[in-house]
Amino acid sequence: MTTEFLPSRLPIIQAPMAGSQGVELCVAVAEAGGLGSLPAAMLTPALLREQVGAVRARTRAPFNVNFFCHVPPSPDPEREAAWHAELAADYAEAGLAPPALGGGPGRAPFDAAMAEVVEEAKPEVVSFHFGLPEEALLERVRRTRARIYSSATSVTEARWLDARGVDAVIAQGAEAGGHRGMFLTDDVDAQPGLFALLPQVVDAVRAPVIAAGGIADGRGIAAAFALGARAVQIGTAYLRTPQATTSAAHRRALAAAREDATRLTNLFTGRPARGLLNRFMREHGPMSPRAPAFPLATGAVAPLRAHHESKGSGDFSPLWAGQAAALAKEEDAGELTARLWRDAIAALAAVRLPR
């Protein structure tokens, strides 16, 4: 099934999920014939080198390394102070002192240091979220001969990526878990669902199209292929596998999820992302104009998250998940990958059109 744009045996890409996975999940999917992924947005170059080395030591299969391409925001002390004030009661309840402004973990865009890691490691695929890096950095990736993918949330974004020569466009529907890949607009309400977006992107671009968003079983894969996708990218279905680093609280929430369990929220990072509804989202959002720009909102929330997670609670955690979360099962990641493809073939074979 391998094609020129896709180096893996199966047309199933494990979505890179920063904070919920590492080497184990990437390797398990790759060994099963899918395209395993490593999310790098929250890693230093040294940690990425270490993870790539660990993957290379355990599999000869191709894999993907994913990077963010956001433009870091200018500091906004006034807005950040207002955000801290918004969370003051939560800190008081937890018995915590508020952190200093500007602190906490973040997410870094692709830069020269990460380009150097790509040049050394030469992964078969390098994918981007929020557009593409500047041309000089992108050219460094091209020279490694890696396939280049990036996400589009609209036909306009897909055309923009296609014009810049990507090897595949990932059509991300509104159903997808985690951060919206949008980069030419911030109008999150305008993002189409996958089955409206996908055929329009297929018609608009020359590059192969990968479907992402709300796909968690073979029926979803079959439907995506019927609409013109050449591969699918799946994230939420892998969150309950033993190879994922999903927290116990996150796993419990996934096990209890229904079709209406998720919301878009900017509270955790400052950028809209889909996750399971929890106390923090109910009390402060889910969307708030007071949240600082991405990724600056993270610093004030991180201590509250750590405090509640230490008590086994996911009330202040980003429980990222797509709208098909209820379809996720506890299953080995390799077995899941193989089953998804078997079920997709069976679903395609079972289609009977009315006469």
Convert the pLDDT of each residue in 210-232 to its tens digit. 999 999 999 999 999 999 999 99
What percent of the chain is modeled with pLDDT above 90?
92
Q: What is the pLDDT of residue 79?
A: 92
pLDDT band at 3 (very low <50, low <70, confident <90, very high): low
pLDDT band at 1 (very low <50, low <70, confident <90, very high): very low
Residue of 294, 273, 272, 264 whose CA lies nearest to 70: 294
pTM for this prediction: 0.95
- Cα gap 108→96, rounded to integer Å: 27
Q: What is the pLDDT of residue 100?
A: 79
Q: Is the pLDDT of residue 184 over 60?
A: yes
pLDDT band at 351 (very low <50, low <70, confident <90, very high): confident
Q: What is the pLDDT of residue 129?
A: 97
- Cα gap 87→273, rounded to integer Å: 20
Residue with tokens 């599999």: 59
Convert the pLDDT of each residue in 117-154 to its tens digit. 999 999 999 999 999 999 999 999 999 999 999 999 99
Q: What domains lie within the chain, and their CATH numbers?
A: 1-70+107-246+327-355 (3.20.20.70), 74-104+262-320 (no CATH)
Helix pair angle (333-350, 218-226), 10° resolution: 50
The residue ranges of DSSP E strands in the chain, in sequence order, are 12-14, 36-39, 63-68, 125-129, 147-152, 168-172, 178-179, 209-212, 231-234, 262-265, 273-276
